[in-house]
Structure 1
Amino acid sequence: MSAPVLHGYWRSSAAYRVRIALNLKGVVYDQVAHDLRHGEQRAAEYLAIAPHGLVPALEVDGRVLIESPAIIEWIDTRWPTPALLPADPDAAATVRAMAAIIACDIHPLCNLRVLRTLKAMGHSQDEIDHWVRRWIGDGFAALEQMVARHGRGFCFGDTPTAADCHLVPQLYNADRFALDLTPYPALVAAGAAARALPAIAAAHPDLQPDADRQ
């Protein structure tokens, strides 16, 4: 297998999730950046790769995988160790649910397309920031209970899972929008444990080749 190629953007939380998963598996991969601020994800060349015009996309030996949850599960199947989903079906369902709170409940309401639409509708930056904090806070309130119940250092159990792949980027976004994290001590602790791992630390947006250097 040739080195996978990850199409992303340094500050995309969905691409951040996939970087974490690849790094935890020790997979060597290349990156191609598409600056979302300038609409590069809608260029014809990229749409020929990923018709939905979103990042991330992962190219592997002529195949293209899209949507970060599907990519992460494919990575976990292709490189089984260390596992990102528990072997027990009930436990795996819980991890998937934790990840889905972020990927399905929080992220679709707070991604760049939505925020730009809100701005085009005349909402102020303060209103937009309030919107983002509201939806992250709602999701975190539910996730806090699950991590407090199932976590033993990480989101689920004592090793990082797909849930942590999702949580770390969402905590990064929460910091960007100045969300008060005081009500979420279990999430904060799990995030700190995850970010302390070198593989996860290396996935941080500021360390990516296309990161702003201002």
Structure 2
Amino acid sequence: MQLHSFFNSSTSWRVRIALALKGLTYDYLPVDIRAGAHREPDYVDHVNPSASVPALAEDGFHLGQSLAIIEWLDAQYPEPRLIPLELDARIRVLELSYLIACDIHPLNNLRVLRYVQDVLGVTPEQKDAWYQHWIAQGMAGVERLLTRYGRGPWCFGDEPTLADCCLVPQIGNALRMGSDLTAYPRSLAVYRHAIEHPAFEMARPARQPDYKA
């Protein structure tokens, strides 16, 4: 198994957590998205048509998009399950995961931040305001969901799920960007619990071979 990944990519980070939780070994293939390696023709043509990270490869099978990859991992390697089978639990996990993956992350990923700065010409201060605005909007929703439906030390119970795989990288990168997250105590409690887990520790950016401070 091979994982095409960038150390600071929250989408790659999600998949690294899932792989670590399942105890799966893989070859780590760095893709420097800051240098545009994800847009190189060979990568797009032979690895990931969406020109993004992560991408997973196994025996000639290639798959992009972190949530699809984790769902595939759950089907191929079902222990431990990260997307519950029981309907109510499954839908809650997916609801929170989609809020992060669809409502927060796309507005604040590297290509969007570069576009608003390099093409639209916003100042660094305006770019930072953009980032902080969408973090606040999205994390308020996350906090409400966790307050209403969450339980246990993880997002939804006593074991990590896809929701935790999504939440930890989002909070980690928001903290790296200087976001004030004190208004989201339940979210921060899950994050602080999770980062003590060996799988989450193994998946963090600083532990990756392409890490650059």
Q: TM-score range by the shorter chain?
A: over 0.9
Question: Aligned residue for 1:109?
Answer: 107
User: How far apart in 2 are the matches of 1:72 and 1:137?
Assistant: 26
Paired residues, number = 210
Partner AA of 1:12 in structure 2: S
Question: Aligned residue for 2:75?
Answer: 77
Question: Aligned residue for 2:39?
Answer: 42
Question: Aligned residue for 1:52?
Answer: 50
Q: What secondary structure, in the 3-state scheme, does the structure 2 residue paired with 1:202 have? A: helix
Q: CA deviation at 1:151?
A: 2.4
Question: Aligned residue for 1:146?
Answer: 145
Q: What secondary structure, in the 3-state scheme, does the structure 2 residue paired with 1:18 have? A: helix
Query: Mean alpha-carbon deviation: is it higher for 140-149 or for 12-21?
Result: 140-149
Q: What secondary structure, in the 3-state scheme, does the structure 2 residue paired with 1:85 have? A: coil
User: How far apart in 2 are the matches of 1:13 and 1:47?
Assistant: 20
Question: Aligned residue for 1:100?
Answer: 98
Partner AA of 1:177 in structure 2: M
Identity within the alignment, %: 45
Question: Aligned residue for 1:88?
Answer: 86
Coordinate RMSD, CA, aligned? 0.9
Q: CA deviation at 1:173?
A: 1.2
Question: Aligned residue for 1:29?
Answer: 26
If the length of structure 1 is used for normalisation, what is the TM-score?
0.95
Which structure 1 segments of 5+ residues have no match? none
- What CA deviation, in whole Å up to 9, does each residue of 1:132-169 have, x standing for no partner? 11111111111112112322111111110000000010
Question: Aligned residue for 2:168?
Answer: 168
- What CA deviation, in whole Å up to 9, does each residue of 1:92-127 have, x standing for no partner? 011001001110000110111100011111111111
Q: What secondary structure, in the 3-state scheme, does the structure 1 residue paired with 2:79 have? A: coil
- What CA deviation, in whole Å up to 9, does each residue of 1:1-34 have, x standing for no partner? xxx1000111111000000000000000111111
Which structure 2 segments of 5+ residues have no match? none
Question: Aligned residue for 1:17?
Answer: 14
Question: Aligned residue for 1:196?
Answer: 196
Question: Aligned residue for 1:124?
Answer: 123
- What CA deviation, in whole Å up to 9, does each residue of 1:18-58 have, x standing for no partner? 00000000000111111111101111111121111100000
Task: Tell me if 1:178 matches 2:178.
Answer: yes
User: How far apart in 2 are the matches of 1:188 and 1:70?
Assistant: 26
Question: Aligned residue for 2:155?
Answer: 155
Question: Aligned residue for 1:61?
Answer: 59
Q: What secondary structure, in the 3-state scheme, does the structure 2 residue paired with 1:90 have? A: helix
Q: What secondary structure, in the 3-state scheme, does the structure 2 residue paired with 1:155 have? A: coil
If the length of structure 2 is used for normalisation, what is the TM-score?
0.96
Question: Aligned residue for 1:137?
Answer: 136
Q: Which aligned segments of 4 or more residues in structure 1 are displaced greater than 2 angstroms?
A: none
